[in-house]
Chains A and B, each alone.
Chain A
């Protein structure tokens, strides 16, 4: 009896250790190219410039040395956005003391979501820049970066509730602006995976 459970415990430890040591490296997502010297060049988020809720410009330079989660939303969205925000809040609160982590939420209705609207939304959600930036700006630039760089759907569609079609994706970007994971931001389990992957990028795992 006793020896059996001891054996089980040892087995458990063994497998536990194995799975810990096994290092699952995160993939590099998006199109890869070869440079002149034949090295693989990974897909990278290009330079950008958007205004946040404090009317401050946020650019790729602000993301230097940071890992970040990007998503697309709009303040009047009745469907999946509140769910996504609930999940992003988990991340925001978890990394409250970690200055390496950022969140970039891009509005896909920038004409309505002006800085003052975003400020009001941020206040009501009790969140602050620069840790969590709500971004607005040129609509074409936002849609382009969404579709081409973050590889998610974001566009106007009058048939959709709220007038836009967009995915509920969260995109994980590393310190070199490479996309390392895409998750369903409306599902708690998927966001658990995101958090695990963030831990890996932060070197905690």
Chain B
């Protein structure tokens, strides 16, 4: 993983990707790790684990953007929204989550985040 990252460091996208991951990690630790824990294992039945590969196969990233921004009262409990987080913050968190647990280790772009945020605002 590391070797791959270093080898392709010359490409601009790769640098941006690494930057998103690093900033996303910090944001994750501040806004998410309290509940889901640093390693994504969750806390008993109170806060769900978010590290299982199966979850990431079925997860819709646009919905996740809305979940991060606006929160949800679902079957597993209540996740508060993070209304102060901006599109860039969310893009970085999403990229970090993918890098950790997602099937595709790729950037979640700012444009995708903005687009997703528009959609959830209109459905609210």
Contact = CB atoms under 8 A, between A and B. Distances in A.
Interface string B39-55: 00001111100000000
If over half of B's interface residues share one DSSP class (helix, strand or loop), that class is named, otherwise mixed; here it is: mixed
B35 to A, nearest CB: 5
A124 B77 contact: yes
A89 B46 CA distance: 13
B44 A125 contact: yes
A126 interface: yes
B8 interface: no
Given A78-B34, A78-B35, A80-B34, A85 B80 contact: no
Contacts of B78: 76
B34 A121 contact: no
B61 interface: no
A92 to B, nearest CB: 11
B8 to A, nearest CB: 36
A125 B35 contact: no
A86 B43 contact: yes
A83 B44 contact: no
Interface residues of B, number: 11
B19 interface: no
A8 to B, nearest CB: 38
Given A76-B80, A124-B77, A162-B80, A82 B44 contact: no
Contacts of B34: 78-83
B37 interface: yes
Contacts of A123: 45
B1 to A, nearest CB: 27
Contacts of A89: 43-44
Contact of A121 (B37, B46, B80): B46
Interface string A68-109: 000000001011111101100100000000000000000000
Contacts of B43: 82, 85-86, 89, 125
B46 A125 contact: yes
B44 A124 contact: yes
Contacts of B46: 82, 85, 121, 124-125
Nearest to A186: B34
Nearest to A76: B78
Nearest to B35: A82
Contacts of A80: 34
Interface of A: 76, 78-83, 85-86, 89, 121, 123-126, 162
30 contacts: A76-B78, A76-B80, A78-B34, A78-B35, A78-B80, A79-B34, A80-B34, A81-B34, A82-B34, A82-B35, A82-B43, A82-B46, A83-B34, A85-B43, A85-B46, A86-B37, A86-B43, A89-B43, A89-B44, A123-B45, A124-B44, A124-B45, A124-B46, A124-B77, A125-B43, A125-B45, A125-B46, A126-B44, A126-B45, A162-B80
